[in-house]
């Protein structure tokens, strides 16, 4: 295998392995080291079944639950029986009767960390491309280590020791989950509290941990103070110099570490087709910085 860095703020391609076959202990160690060093890994040209995707997540940690499972919402009722419970389908495709095949449609998916709205957030996400549009639908990643390391001194002082409420109310494309009421005051949004700066359990490095912007709030600040500080943190974090963007091809598998990255999806034409299969690795309780 070879590690080919993207040359951007994060990310690397791993070439020279067929992930439809069992991963040896030596290859597992090689891959995990590259994952720790680069935060996002790309494997091209992979032909993977649901079972393969569930097996491969265990290269990166123990099996994890989908967002719906973590929220206690159960299996999506429109999934066919052959889709395993711990697989998520991300797609804009609809059946002839209008039934969706997956979630998140064709719009923008805003910067976020997967499933940060749970007490023990997930670690790795594995996303496999089955169908991709001719244009759009790219996925970009943010290096949250670097964003923290480069934080201006005044902003670092303002965020030190702060805790963020990670709201459960919306999906990453900004759509309100029907199970939750409309929230007009983000400080009252149902969610989970996490430290704004965490220590990565493997690398030992400090990084920002923001979750997603919608209905987020900083605990024990007024709404105006919370919004102002979050706006400044997000403006600093979402700079191009901290980003790598991937343009998908069929067979691509991306694996990213939600503990030290955020990601974003570009919108794509609604009359095109995009179909992705996703599996999850469980995480661990956050270690405050």
Residue 56 lies in a domain: yes
Is pLDDT at 211 greater than 90 in this prediction? yes
Helices (H) and strands (E) counted in the chain, each on its own, are: 6, 18
The three-state secondary structure class of 29 is: helix
The three-state secondary structure class of 194 is: strand
Starting at the edge strand found earlier in the chain, the sheet holding 217-218 runs 191-195, 163-167, 217-218
Asked if 46 and 20 count as a contact pair (C-beta separation under 8 A), the reply is yes
Residue 146 lies in a domain: yes
pLDDT at position 270 is: 94
Copy the structure tokens of residue 223: 């709404």
Tokens 């009722």 found at: 77
At residue 289 the predicted structure's pLDDT band, cuts being 50, 70 and 90, is confident
What is the per-residue DSSP string for 236-285? HHT-GGGEEEE---TT-EEEEETTSEEEEE----TTS--EEEEEEB----
Q: What is the pLDDT of residues 54-82, one digit of tens each?
A: 999 999 999 999 998 998 887 888 888 88
Query: Could you tell me the CATH number of the domain that includes residue 119?
Result: 3.60.130.10
Q: Which helix (H) or strand (E) holds 112?
A: strand 109-112
Residue 53 lies in a domain: yes
Residues near 49 by Cβ (< 8 Å), separated by ≥ 6? 20
At residue 228 the predicted structure's pLDDT band, cuts being 50, 70 and 90, is very high
Residue 186 lies in a domain: yes
Total structural domains in the chain? Answer: 1
Sign of the dihedral defined by the CA atoms of residues 25, 31, 35, 41, in that order: negative
Q: What is the pLDDT of residues 145-165, one digit of tens each?
A: 999 999 999 999 999 999 999
pLDDT at position 77 is: 83
Q: Using CA atoms, how far apart are residues 163 and 194, in angstroms rounded to an integer?
A: 6
Phi, psi (rounded to 5 degrees) for 82: -75, -5
Q: Using CA atoms, how far apart are residues 264 and 257, in angstroms rounded to an integer?
A: 14
What is the domain range of residue 145? 2-284
Q: Using CA atoms, how far apart are residues 3 and 12, in angstroms rounded to an integer?
A: 6
Q: What is the pLDDT of residues 250-273, one digit of tens each?
A: 999 999 999 999 999 999 999 999
Q: Using CA atoms, how far apart are residues 211 and 164, in angstroms rounded to an integer?
A: 9
Sign of the dihedral defined by the CA atoms of residues 94, 280, 233, 221, in that order: positive
- β-partners of residue 262 are 142
Classify residue 113 as left (phi > 0), alpha (psi -120 to 50) or beta.
beta
Residue 289 lies in a domain: no
Percent of the chain with pLDDT over 70: 100
* pTM > 0.75: yes
Q: CA distances (Å), 63 to each of 23, 126, 280, in order?
A: 16, 12, 7
Q: Using CA atoms, how far apart are residues 232 and 114, in angstroms rounded to an integer?
A: 22
- β-partners of residue 218 are 164
pLDDT at position 205 is: 97
């Amino acid at each position: 295998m070879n590690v080919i860095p993207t040359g951007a703020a994060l990310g690397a391609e791993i070439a020279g392995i067929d992930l439809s076959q069992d991963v040896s202990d030596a290859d597992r160690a090689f891959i995990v080291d590259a994952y720790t060093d680069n935060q996002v890994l790309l494997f091209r040209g992979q032909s993977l079944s649901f079972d393969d995707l569930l097996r491969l997540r265990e290269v990166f940690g123990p099996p994890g639950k989908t967002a719906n499972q973590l929220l206690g919402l159960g299996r999506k009722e429109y999934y066919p029986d052959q889709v395993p419970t711990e697989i998520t389908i991300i797609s804009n495709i609809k059946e002839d009767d209008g039934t969706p095949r997956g979630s998140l449609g064709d719009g923008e998916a805003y910067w976020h960390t997967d499933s940060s709205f749970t007490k023990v957030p997930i670690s790795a996400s594995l996303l496999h491309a089955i169908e991709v549009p001719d244009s759009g639908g790219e996925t970009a990643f943010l290096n949250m280590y670097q964003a923290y390391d480069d934080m201006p001194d005044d902003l670092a002082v303002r965020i030190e020791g702060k805790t963020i409420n990670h709201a459960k109310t919306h999906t990453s494309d900004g759509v309100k989950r029907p199970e939750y009421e409309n929230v007009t005051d983000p400080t009252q949004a149902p969610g989970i509290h996490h430290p704004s700066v965490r220590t990565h359990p493997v690398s030992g490095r400090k990084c920002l941990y923001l979750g997603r912007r919608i209905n987020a709030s900083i605990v024990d600040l007024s709404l105006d103070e919370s919004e102002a500080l979050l706006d400044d943190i997000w403006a600093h974090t979402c700079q191009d110099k901290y980003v790598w963007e991937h343009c998908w091809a069929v067979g691509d598998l991306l694996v990213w570490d939600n503990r030290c990255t955020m990601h974003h999806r570009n919108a794509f034409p609604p009359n095109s087709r995009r179909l992705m299969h996703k599996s999850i690795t469980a995480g661990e309780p956050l270690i405050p910085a």
